[in-house]
Amino acid sequence: MAWGDPWQPIGWLLSMLFLLCAFLPDPRGLATGFRSLIKPKTAFFLFWILFFVVSHLWNFRTAPWNGDALFDESGNDLGYLKSNVIGHPYQAAWFHGIISRETLFHYYVWGFLKLFGFNILSYEAALFVIWLTAFVFALLLVDLFFGSYIVTSVAALSFNFLPFAFIYTFVGYRYPMTV
């Protein structure tokens, strides 16, 4: 496999690490920050994360997204990953037809495939983590705007059970998931 310049992705990861370290508090403030996580609001958000995970994996064996087949967008993404990303030098975007395709998503999926095996279930786990992240950030925004447990709970229920968002989690439409 030819990665091209291996220092490019390593340099990017180091730059992100240094950027995060620039905003870290001193060691005393860091310990205080971890103690401040023990609050009712943290338990509230952990409950909704657990609710999301359980509701999306409930009846997984009989669900249409159980890993027995791929939808068209997922097949296109995995085919693109195999033909243009795996085994080629690192590149942030590739010219594809009349457009330029981003590859960050494909590298993200590749990590899941390398970690859990090259199968459909690993791909769906990657999509599940993306939607869970979008779900948590949406709840944090609702909580920030309204500051109410009731409004945030209603938003959590509606975001969790919206038919399109629920299906997009495992169909592979990553753009509508985050919109």
- pLDDT tens, residue by residue, 81-110: 777 778 777 776 777 666 666 777 778 888
In-domain check, residue 14: no
pLDDT (average), residues 1-25: 77
Task: Determine phi and psi for 94, rounding to 5 degrees.
Answer: -125, 140
> What does pTM read for this prediction?
0.71
pLDDT higher than threshold 90 for residue 149: yes
pLDDT greater at residue 54 or residue 99: 54
Low-confidence winner among 41-45, 56-60, 95-99 (lowest mean pLDDT): 95-99
Per the prediction, the chain carries an average pLDDT of 79
In-domain check, residue 8: no
User: Within 10 A of 164 (CB to CB), how many other CB atoms are there?
Assistant: 11
pLDDT (average), residues 155-170: 78
Predicted confidence at residue 171, as pLDDT, reads 66
How many independent structural domains does the chain possess? Answer: 1
pLDDT (average), residues 122-126: 83
Q: Helices (DSSP H) in the chain: which residue ranges? A: 7-22, 27-35, 40-57, 72-80, 104-116, 120-146, 149-161, 163-171, 174-178
Which domain covers residue 136, as residue numbers? 39-178
CA distance 106 to 91: 11
pLDDT higher than threshold 60 for residue 49: yes
In-domain check, residue 43: yes
In-domain check, residue 12: no
Q: How far is CA 21 from the centre of its chain?
A: 23
pLDDT greater at residue 95 or residue 4: 95
In-domain check, residue 32: no
Predicted confidence at residue 84, as pLDDT, reads 74
In-domain check, residue 1: no
Predicted confidence at residue 147, as pLDDT, reads 94
